[in-house]
Amino acid sequence: MKGPDDEAPVLSAYRRGDWQPSLDTAPLPGATRARLALVPHIVAHSDRRWWDGIRADLPPLSGRRELVLSALELFRHGTVTIGGIGPQSADAFRAALWESAGLPGPLVERWGAMLYEGAARRETVAPDDALALVALPGNTFTCLDSVLEQAERSACVWVRPSRREPLSAARLLAALLAVGWPPARLGLYPTEQHTLHGLLKLTDRHVVYGGSGLAASVRDSPALALHGPGRGCALVPPGTGAGFAGAAGAADPLDPVDPLDRVDPLDRVDSVDSVDDMVAWLLPLIAADSGRFCSNVRTVVCVDHDPEPLAKALAAALDALHPGPAPDPADPRWPLTAFRDPAEADRAAASVRDRLRPGDHLLTREPTVVTGTGVGTRTGGDVYVRPQLALLRSDPAAPSHPLIGHEVPFPFAAVVGATADAARALADEALFVYRPPATPGGAP
């Protein structure tokens, strides 16, 4: 007798130039009962030998950039055929990401546009003979940009998708195949977590995304580009009456200070005197993309001034962000993602609360974990973690706190006061450092 899971779709792996099932599967998030085919290490090891045997006979692949851009148009707007799922339209993809990953429609559209724009601007490079591996995160599919970069650069690219969100990687591979990318030059290798280390040994070049634990475990691998926590930091100078330019004529507020330009990040900070203007600048840095990017601001450093007035105003602005009827948010500028595992939402919210110390204040007042209701909401409701902001009590001369740089899959920031020297030290620990837009006549 067949059980309900026997009728559920199983997203296939892609190996040896074809979609392949597997005896090993794992459930996908959401209520569809869909499952994901997993590739054991012994199978991947055999596939590497297969690749070595056919590589010399493959004809050169020209016109890679044109194929990539055509594939991205199909990824964003067309219908592709995915192994184990079948034909999938753009609307069906959007619905599937909402159902399994809680991604609202405006976010899917924004991220798709970012992929296309990034690929169109990227400098072209001469391809080599490497077999590349890209291990993706589950927080955003914009990291598929690394897949496209390696596809243009490498002889073959294997993609290890996140088990939390493999649908976007599968759709991109299907789009590349549909526009004529040679099947043998692509692979989709969903695996257990421990198998990642084996894939690193089987491939020649690696791009790996992950949190601090994963970053530490793979740091010493050769030929590795590691994308770990960004610890995004915004520097807020004291007010001097010089005014604040806002968005008009200013540098892009989403652009961080060049990470190589670290002589003194405070030299590039302009003075401001309007709390409202500072909130307008900081809000997108914290809340854009549902707070899921490594470049989102996690720490707001008030340099040589009281952080409380700004922290209170910023908390009120974050409290005003709320989920709307599924799958589209009430305000498409700052969409919040839904958690398909309520326990994961509780853990994410608790990771902030549990790190608070005596004297700290959680200034956001709205309930942290909420269940959305309304037209389009899933049965049982959609679970969200609302934005949080903490004002930290710490020594301004040497601020140290477990919430500084803390990354969670929802909008969160810690506000802390610091001396100029301490602010420089905090900036040095961050991969992404932001400064306010230029004042009139100031350098951007």
What does the block give as tokens for 128?
């080599």
Which residue do the tokens 């190996």 mark? 15
What integer pLDDT is reported at residue 23 of this predicted model? 94
Please name which of 47, 52, 59, 60 lies closest in space to residue 16, comparing C-alpha atoms: 47
288 DSSP 8-state letter = G
The pLDDT of residue 37 is: 97
**In DSSP terms, which residues pair with 186 in a beta bridge?**
157
- Check residue 208 and report its DSSP letter: E
The answer to whether 170 touches 35, Cβ cutoff 8 Å, is: no
Mean pLDDT by 10 residues, the chain (444 residues): 64 98 93 91 97 96 97 98 97 95 93 97 95 95 97 98 96 98 98 90 92 60 80 85 31 44 48 79 95 95 95 96 76 87 95 97 95 64 93 94 96 97 95 79 34
At 240 the pLDDT is 32
Those residues whose C-beta lies under 8 Å from the C-beta of residue 69, and which sit 6 or more positions away, are: 116, 119, 120
Q: How many CA atoms lie within 13 A of 89 on its CB side?
A: 3
Strand 35-37 versus strand 10-11 pairing type: parallel
Of the candidates 271, 196, 201, the residue with the CA atom closest to the CA atom of residue 48? 201
User: Is the separation of the CB atoms in 151 and 68 below 8 Å?
Assistant: yes
Alpha carbon distance 136, 191 (integer Å): 12
DSSP strands (E only) in 121-258:
131-135, 156-160, 186-188, 205-209, 224-227, 232-236
Q: What angle do CA 40, 41, 47 make, to 5 degrees?
A: 95
One-letter identity of residue 26: A
Among all chains, which residue has been given the structure tokens 């951007």? 444
- The pTM score is 0.88
pLDDT of residue 241: 32
Q: How far apart are CA 294 and CA 277, in angstroms?
A: 24
* Contact call for residues 152 and 225 (beta carbons, < 8 A): no
**Residue 55: what pLDDT?**
96
